[in-house]
Structure 1
Amino acid sequence: MEPRTRVSGRERDRVVHRLQQAFADGRLGPGEMEERLERALTATSHGDLLPAVADLPDDLDAPDDVVRLTPTAGRVKRSGDWRVPRLLRVESEYGRVRLDLSRALVRYPEIDIELRLAYGSATIVLPPGATANTDGVRIGWGSVTCGAPGRPRPGGIHVRITGELEYGRLRVRPSRGWLGTRR
């Protein structure tokens, strides 16, 4: 890339993603992360942008980071310190799904969750400041409730939820703090 060529918003987003991953992996401390993010978000040319990630590896994320969970019945529960894939597919005939992302390792600025539930319900708890879009969820006899902002925000995590719930409900909500307590 020519150092004087202007950067696009998409190129800036890719660099921010790499910085977020490096921070999550412990490669950057909070102060250095903040400094590099500022550099990346204010860059106008490749010469301004590239120093923010010059000493970081290129292969921070796996291109095929897809996880598929297919229990027939019972619960699917993920909480605490777990790694969220880029795409999570959950298929279940009978059962409940609870995905708590509030303390999970989320390495991607955008993640997709695809739900295929015949007779089950799902609850997704978002990390602080995250946004979610549930427009791609089709329901038969049930409901979709989303208590989070729907549009992505710069530097934040955005969760796209799609799929089908024939006889169930989907509830998406922000976390209630680090304790993750239910009310």
Structure 2
Amino acid sequence: MRTQMEPRIRVSDGERDRVVQQLQQAFADGRLGPGEMEERLERALTAKSHGELLPLVADLPDAPGRPDTPDDVLRLTTTGGRIKRSGDWQVPRLLYVESEYGGARLDLSEAVVRHPEIDIELRLPYGSATIILPPGATANVDGVRTGWGSVNCSVPGRARPGGLHVRITGELEYGRLRVRASREWSGPRH
């Protein structure tokens, strides 16, 4: 769930980075000219509070603090079954995955991902999850909590310019989380 920015609250480096990425995308889309882009970037990089960041992106799509559109949020739930997504599917900006006793397998390697950063929130008390990312993607799993389970992430944790970055949060009390990059296709198997 996207949180509302409070104008007086100090911003983090991550929040500044997200605004910079949004400005860069707006420039690439032709929404900002070079001079305006340069001015907004300078202000974004020196912003100390949300109140200084908000005006920089208020007139752009996906501005922080705006409500999510239905296409930006997807909730996948089951009680005991396995949640599976693979192939050509559209990945929202925010994906909730919930199953009391089941697990999840999310393959993003062939998926349509419109956002440079996405969030996946897992609620799998007794289940495990495998998330497969496209080559070059990164993932931060620091927000995942386990009791008796484990977290194994074999992709870089810091975002890289131009690549997909996935923030994974949630709880897997007894299950495990595995995050890996896809293996390249080597042709049909005989």
Would you say same fold, with TM above 0.5? yes
Q: Which residue of 2 aligns with 1:46?
A: 36
58-67 or 87-96: bigger deviation: 58-67
Gaps of 5+ in 2: 1-15, 40-59
* Secondary structure at 1:153 match in 2: coil
Deviation per CA, 1:59-102, whole angstroms, max 9, x where unpaired? Answer: 68993211111100111000000000100001111112000000
Q: Which residue of 1 aligns with 2:75?
A: 68
Distance in 2 between the 1:81 and 1:67 partners?
16
RMSD: 3.1
Displacement of 1:12 in angstroms is 4.9
Percent sequence identity over matched residues?
A: 64
Distance in 2 between the 1:44 and 1:9 partners?
19
Displacement of 1:45 in angstroms is 2.6
1:13 paired with 2:21, answer yes
Gaps of 5+ in 1: 1-7, 20-35, 50-57
1:153 paired with 2:152, answer no
Distance in 2 between the 1:170 and 1:10 partners?
26
Structure 1-normalised TM-score?
A: 0.69
Is the contact made by 1:17 and 1:108 (CA closer than 8 Å) also made in structure 2? no
Displacement of 1:170 in angstroms is 0.1
Is the contact made by 1:90 and 1:114 (CA closer than 8 Å) also made in structure 2? yes
* Secondary structure at 1:74 match in 2: coil
Moved over 6 A (4+): none
Count of residue pairs the alignment pairs up = 147
Structure 2-normalised TM-score?
A: 0.67
> What are the residue-to-residue correspondences of 1:137-152 with 2, within 5 Å?
137-152=144-159
Displacement of 1:116 in angstroms is 0.5
Q: Which residue of 1 aligns with 2:133?
A: 126
1:113 paired with 2:120, answer yes
